[in-house]
Amino acid sequence: MVDKSLQTLFVFYTSPKKYWKYDQFPYGWVWIGSGGTSPIGRKQIHFYTHEEQFEGPVKSKKEMITILKQTFEDLNKQNIIESYKITETYNEGITLSLL
């Protein structure tokens, strides 16, 4: 059974050059894990090489997205990552479909 009071967010990014720590998250949000990415299903362009997953209450999703955007913009400005994308699904983040 799916808990509809919880929201999952993924952040996809390119080649990390070092590790970083996160500041405090909104109440109830946790870092689930991270790893490499790979396409699922049909042939697709694989753009982002790494992902991190977070989960927390739906009611504070916008606040968490703001924190993640700020964090990853700072990492980008410091040349720690090259680019990033925040999504609600795994497939939405890692692929650009070939038509």
> 68-71 — which CB contacts under 8 Å span 24+ positions?
68/9, 68/11, 71/20, 71/22, 71/23
What's the pLDDT score for residue 97? 36
Q: Would you say the pTM of this structure is higher than 0.75?
A: yes
Average pLDDT for 14-40: 82
